[in-house]
A and B are shown apart, each in its own frame.
Chain A
């Protein structure tokens, strides 16, 4: 009797998870009047106008470009900086290494809002305000420690003997590091990059504070709920759908490695 309903719980859970996303998708194909006026489970007047607007209006699509530019910049900076650091933490013992490793995380213990003012002041002073690199660097403050933690876990899973064997087999350190070591921990690099990407993609406060026009992220554009033509809820919904897509796309590629990262207890 019980067995016939074993599908029920996961089904309810999946509905629960998918409902907001469905509702967003649903809204994005409706007109604002329909959203405000009637309750409907699917669009009564199906329209692609909302999407058309986003792909043609530069204030909208530039938001996506800006976000993607600083997110990619940030991911590259964070992973590049974290790789040698993580290697040092996993392979060498030095004075205070354990403490330093732990204190790396302290930056993550404060809400990003704490850093909004100092960053704003600093970047204005050095004329980096409203540039992509400013946001990328600000996010690196949070992402580099995280990437070091994740990569250190993966690197420590690789036996030291791999290094030794490569030296004995005739490789120098740099050839070993790039040709053997990096490919061996590619899963870890994928996971670290994913988390850097995700944090930077969803972070709004710093990104909004440090930009005005030239590097304004999509999420900041989306906080503009009303324009000269009144409420544009359909448009916002469409923008929301398009914002989910990059995340879903990236997670698809690292889905197998994420589980490994969780198993290492580092994610």
Chain B
């Protein structure tokens, strides 16, 4: 268990990075508290796996330092960092039995005898592998193999950090839920620092205490699931988290008051004045918009019923605004007015929050 600090981290796969696009990680600076459960969330290709491999020592960062509990481990090989990592696709040692696969990391650290046996059986129990413990690993199905990978990541209780790189991609949906809650349960039991990489927001939001949202090689926001939902620091976060994502609507700002094509809109108070000429946008989640007698005039374009609520797509001038209407709510047929919940309406200048 350890506190992990990433200092001024940059990484590029090119030998001589020239422009911005050459950097897989642009500039990273954050800290994972000891015993925390973190999720790295972002679309494919945003640098999540790169970051993970830097923490585990499989990659050496082009610039910056990695510290475990204040000790610089940037030049340590993976085996010296005392970590566990689970990859996206199942990795099992085909030539060994399931038991030996699970025991492998323990044996390498000189654990043997009863302590080893007890630990292996405990983990096997947890991931439902007790019945197949003495089979050869090669004959198992993809999710069986992935369970072994998971088990091997969890089997040591003295690791600094356990890292999961989209570990549930190949697992059946119903088993996903099970394993995810198992992971969470295990985290509460042993309190190891865990970093979980995923592009699935539900996985990230249910697993982690702190979610790190990444976009194009940089961290755009670190926060609890509630913070990410209610106060996205960046329009990307608003888009990426939530379904449907946050509405982002072009607006004007005059003396701290926002207007939408002439219609004044109540928002959260502006904290930082934007740079002159910055691209201004209002961000508001569909959950915080309601139909009203007066307000912003819109036309209802489309209604899709998802069961518990309906997603209503409306148009204000040529800007699309989505809102959620709970089951049984009244949806006007064409022209209507909508109102934003001021507390949850943010203003963004060049994609960054200013309210």
Contacts and interface: CB of A to CB of B under 8 A. Distances in A.
A169 B85 CA distance: 8
Of B85, B91, B94, B105, the most chain A CB neighbours within 10 A belong to B91
Interface string B70-113: 00000001110001110111010111000000001100110000
A168 B108 contact: no
Nearest to A182: B95
Contacts of A168: 56, 58, 78-79, 83-85
A118 interface: no
Contacts of B152: 165, 169
Interface string A166-204: 011111100000001001101000000000000000000
B79 A161 contact: no
B108 A165 contact: no
A159 interface: yes
Given A159-B91, A172-B79, A164 B85 contact: yes
B81 to A, nearest CB: 8
Nearest to B80: A170
A260 to B, nearest CB: 13
Contacts of A170: 79, 105, 108-109
A169 B148 CA distance: 13
Given A168-B79, A172-B79, A161 B89 contact: yes
A117 interface: no
A162 B85 CA distance: 11
A161 B152 CA distance: 14
Contacts of A184: 93-95
A172 B71 CA distance: 23
Contacts of B85: 164-165, 168
Of A164, A180, A184, the most chain B CB neighbours within 10 A belong to A164
Interface string B115-151: 0000000000000000000000000000000000100
Nearest to B59: A164
Interface residues of A, number: 15
Interface in B149-168: 149, 152
A2 B90 CA distance: 48
A180 B93 contact: yes
- Classify chain B's interface size: 20 to 34
A171 B79 contact: yes
A147 to B, nearest CB: 21
Contacts of B108: 169-171
A164 B105 contact: no
Contact of B89 (A159, A172, A183, A186): A159
B93 A164 contact: no
Contacts of B91: 159, 161-162, 164-165
B294 to A, nearest CB: 59
B87 A161 contact: yes
Contact of A169 (B77, B88, B104): B104
A124 B60 CA distance: 52
Interface in A138-175: 159, 161-162, 164-165, 167-172
A212 B89 CA distance: 56
A183 B87 CA distance: 21
Contacts of B58: 164, 167-168
A165 B87 CA distance: 8
Nearest to A166: B93
A161 B93 CA distance: 11
Of A167, A172, A186, the most chain B CB neighbours within 10 A belong to A167
A167 B83 CA distance: 10
B82 to A, nearest CB: 9
A168 B78 CA distance: 5
Interface in B43-65: 53, 56-58
A179 to B, nearest CB: 9
Nearest to B138: A184
A159 B109 CA distance: 24
A167 B78 contact: yes
A164 B78 contact: yes
B194 to A, nearest CB: 15
A239 B45 CA distance: 63
A169 B92 CA distance: 12
Contacts of B78: 164, 167-168
Contacts of A171: 79, 108
Contacts of A167: 57-58, 77-79
Contacts of B104: 169
Nearest to B105: A169
Nearest to B110: A170
A62 B56 CA distance: 58
Contacts of A165: 85, 87, 91, 149, 152
27 contacts: A159-B87, A161-B87, A161-B89, A162-B91, A162-B93, A164-B58, A164-B78, A164-B85, A165-B85, A165-B87, A167-B58, A167-B77, A168-B58, A168-B79, A168-B83, A168-B84, A168-B85, A169-B84, A169-B108, A169-B152, A170-B109, A171-B79, A171-B108, A180-B95, A183-B94, A183-B95, A184-B95
Interface of B: 53, 56-58, 77-79, 83-85, 87-89, 91, 93-95, 104-105, 108-109, 149, 152
Given A161-B89, A168-B78, 7 more contacts: A161-B87, A161-B88, A167-B77, A168-B58, A169-B79, A169-B152, A171-B79
8 tightest Cβ-Cβ pairs between the two chains A and B: A170-B108, A161-B87, A183-B95, A167-B78, A170-B79, A169-B105, A165-B91, A161-B91
